[in-house]
Amino acid sequence: MSVGKFVEGLLLGALTGAAVTTLMAPKSGQDMQETIKQRLNMVIDEGKRASAERRAELESQFAQARQPDRPIL
């Protein structure tokens, strides 16, 4: 079995699964779009929050590293 055939089958399976899931969804198209938008916004907000926390942590570490009288961790 060649890698190309495997990838082709994988993509075909993924597309088929997505189509079946969309057709069998218990919500209307508009409801489904709204649900997807809400979840996407939730993920984006969580990513922004995590990014801000990490940035503050790194800035604190950087400030400590710049002080000459502080021991290096």
Residue-range domain boundaries for the chain? 3-66
pLDDT at 71: 59
Distance CA 51, CA 44 (A): 10
Tens digit of each residue's pLDDT, the chain (73 residues): 577 788 888 888 888 988 888 777 777 778 878 888 898 889 899 999 999 999 999 999 999 888 877 555 6
- The residue whose two tokens read 């399976």 is 13
The one-letter amino acid at 47: G
pLDDT at 6: 85
**Residue 45: partners with Cβ closer than 8 Å, 6 or more residues away:** none
Q: Chain-centre distance of CA 59, in angstroms?
A: 24
Distance CA 73, CA 64 (A): 9
Q: pTM for the full model?
A: 0.51
pLDDT at 17: 85
> Which spans in the chain are helix H?
3-24, 29-66
